[in-house]
Structure 1
């Protein structure tokens, strides 16, 4: 069941919709085809856990309840259409942002929780591919579950649900960002993933200074995790420069590696909380873009070099 906060923690509520979002009928139809395909595969097909199957009607009942609450309306669909046909008809003609909200909603339904993690992410990859071939400037982030050991059993601790993020104006280099996010799916990088996504969110909302700071925090968190995994001692309060110096010293890697990390720290120090001085610092969109791309590249480098 959805929690009330989850109902309103969706794409349209996170973003200021300044112009109509175009999601054509072909894209919507294809996404529903993917969902219907889930309901047409039995548990022997490997789609489901717990010996269950995906029930399209139950799924649409959950989605309808969410739509009614979010829109504050009882008459979202025509009752004579039936639940499944009524929900599909509504979503094929609703505003683009409402449809993007629906895509995020899918993963929070009880029915989707029955689908294996690998199949959820395959579903996400398929949606992203459909978006790309139709030149729609959005993509979904990955689904991730975090488990902890409880006695002799594993217990689900938390879930990172997929979010629709905007690729408009290509503010990030997808060839860099996507591999970085893939690396951060690992449980140990949970906090790093959250900090980096926070940096992207700040950017989308034009909070460029906050974006620069959050991205730098993600980088520093990666370095601390690398120290922990390699059993290298470090100060819990250490920031970027002491951390990279410590990693270089402990690993006996070249001193010039420090220069790879310095641009990110410089941007944070000059434009973040340490950069104000007597006058307010005006952080630009381009500076935030640079920080995002730098940090993504540095995360890939650090994990590749030291997390072996």
Structure 2
């Protein structure tokens, strides 16, 4: 209600300022509110006089929440920690670190599945090697055979490629910034991929 008053009444007059501990313009007050929401992972923003969600309701309900529920299993403790770290980095605007933790969560999920099924892996295995192990040992149903190459390509060229090209290697002489939309896309892609892997694991035990 305070910010509705600020936006609808004070901001229109242009001659008023908001007085807190320090003097601040109405537009800057709204910006600071939204930054604080983001920093603390509230998931809402004040826009056009209303409090709205900044994430996709559908993606959150169908991908992120189910993934977090599955990763709460003690067997996936490592992947869960990394996935939560990726979200924390995203909330604080550390988008390169977000990509790195997203890939770690993806790889840890596959390593856990391989360990639970006694499939041999190496501590140095990359995402590509882990995907190959999961596929060669029949993690996915037999009727996926015709789509084998498509599924493999999707998994290999999704999260690992995003991380390698944007957050996983040296940036050279010129610093580059990972945009927020790319970090958000990577988080959503990681959630759906982990959900796919764990549900496939549970369905073929």
Shorter-chain-normalised TM-score: which range?
0.5 to 0.7
Are residues 1:174 and 2:174 paired?
Answer: no
1:236 corresponds to: 123
> Structure 1 pair 20/278, CA: closer, same or farther in 2 (3 Å)?
closer
Partner Cα separation in structure 2 for residue 275 and residue 258 of structure 1: 27
Question: Aligned residue for 2:76?
Answer: 189
Equivalents in 2 of 1:171, 1:204: separation in Å?
15
Inter-partner Cα distance in structure 2 for 1:220 and 1:252: 15
TM-score by length of 2: 0.67
The secondary structure found in structure 2 opposite 1:166 is coil
1:271 aligns with 2:166: yes
Q: Which residue pairs with 1:165 in the alignment?
A: 41
Runs of at least 5 residues in structure 1 that lack an aligned partner in the other structure: 1-16, 22-96, 98-136, 139-163
Structure 1 residue 275 displacement after superposition: 5.6
Q: Is the 8 A contact 1:269 1:275 kept in 2?
A: no
RMSD: 2.5
Q: Compared with structure 1, are the counterparts of its residues 305 and 204 closer, same or farther at alpha carbon in structure 2 (3 Å cutoff)?
A: same
Match of 1:256 among 145, 150, 156: 150
> Comparing both chains, which one has the higher relative contact order based on Cα–Cα distances under 8 Å and sequence gaps of 6 or more?
2
Q: CA deviation at 1:278?
A: 4.0
Q: Does the Cα contact within 8 Å between 2:139 and 2:200 map onto a contact in 1?
A: no
Normalised TM-score (structure 1) = 0.46
Equivalent-residue separation in structure 2 for 1:191 and 1:227 (angstroms): 14
